[in-house]
Amino acid sequence: MAKINFGGVEETVVTREEYPLAKALEFLKNETIAVIGYGVQGPGQALNMRDNGFNVIVGQRQDSPSWERAKQDGFEEGISLFSIEEAAERGTIICNLLSDAGQIAVWPTLKEKLTPGKTLYFSHGFGITFKEQTNIVPPADVDVILVAPKGSGTSLRRLFLAGGGLNSSFAVFQDATGKAYEKAVAMGIGVGSGYLFETDFKKEVYSDLTGERGVLMGALAGIIEAQYQVLRQRGHSPSEAFNETVEELTQSLVPLVGENGMDWMFSNCSVTAQRGALDWKGRFREATLPVLNELYDSVASGKEAERTIQRGSTPGYRQELEAELKEVRESELWQTGAVVRQLRSKAEVAEEV
């Protein structure tokens, strides 16, 4: 395993150089990997493992859209595609990739299939960490591991097909066989990870829930809405407000920051932009620190998990969600965005021609 220095802190990282795919295949050669759920993470992980040569089957509710999607992806009914119950029965490594609400609903079924020596695999620490709300308590005689790709299943698959890999966290919650650690590493390599960073279930879910509600989605959406609103109220047109708030961020700055870092971005823009960014970033940091600390406390207390479970299990949640998304979609901000994306697509086509 590699020792890598991250900003002055040394961490142990697993790479495909130290733990190649051939080693993972050899270690898991006698395992039947049952991917339960074919929604967000399921397709990317199942297809990557199948393409890498692992023995993969899928468990999904029959006659659902996800069942049909699995069939379209080449999983064959009765051969590599089964009901959730049968796949869990056949699997020696049961990958619980259902939604958090789905995991709660199906847990009694999966628990029955967890005979001694099997492995229960997660890509999120939610169910285990918040067991008081989920009632997910694995038997003591099974391994419990986690591999959490740091991105969507779609990104995991796209990078895999391009010959790359998405970084993932991995963890062991319960080692009944003495082999749980290597199972987690081998599974991480199998699903198409680039680098594997060790963590634990609690830290994974705390950071994940904070990130989703913070910079990655909630804070990003909120600050975009705020800046767009200020520009519009000060007399700027919708297109100008959108371009200065979203288009330049997503199409120019964020990709460059990802490639080269924020310092590079600062050093490669005008003095006006440099001074503005450096002089104001502290103000934004100090303004948001109390909110982010409040958010982390809410995650750690279990309040966010409780809210997620309550809302996700509400019979009319899908309709409520669609109403919320419709409001976002039909706002002036994102209606403007739809037009800008169309213009961008036309420009890209014209450039190719």
Please give the single-letter amino acid code of residue 166. L
Alpha-carbon dihedral angle through residues 34, 38, 39, 41, given to the nearest 10 degrees: 40
Backbone dihedral angles phi then psi of residue 187, each to the nearest 5 degrees = -65, -40
Closest CA to 304 of 222, 214, 215, 170: 214
- The answer to whether residue 124 is catalytic is yes
Whether the Cβ atoms of residue 119 and residue 94 lie closer than 8 Å to each other: yes
Residues flagged as binding site: 208, 212, 244, 248, 270
Q: For residue 346, how many other CB atoms are within 10 A of its CB? A: 10
Question: What region, left, alpha or beta, does residue 169 occupy, with left being phi > 0 and alpha being psi -120 to 50 degrees?
Answer: beta
Residues flagged as binding site for Mg(2+): 208, 212, 244, 248
Q: Any residues with CB less than 8 A from the CB of 264 and at least 6 apart, and which?
A: 256, 257
Residues flagged as binding site for substrate: 270
What number of CA atoms fall less than 13 Å from residue 329's CA on the CB side? 6
The active-site residue out of 50, 113, 124, 213 is: 124
Catalytically active residues, by annotation: 124
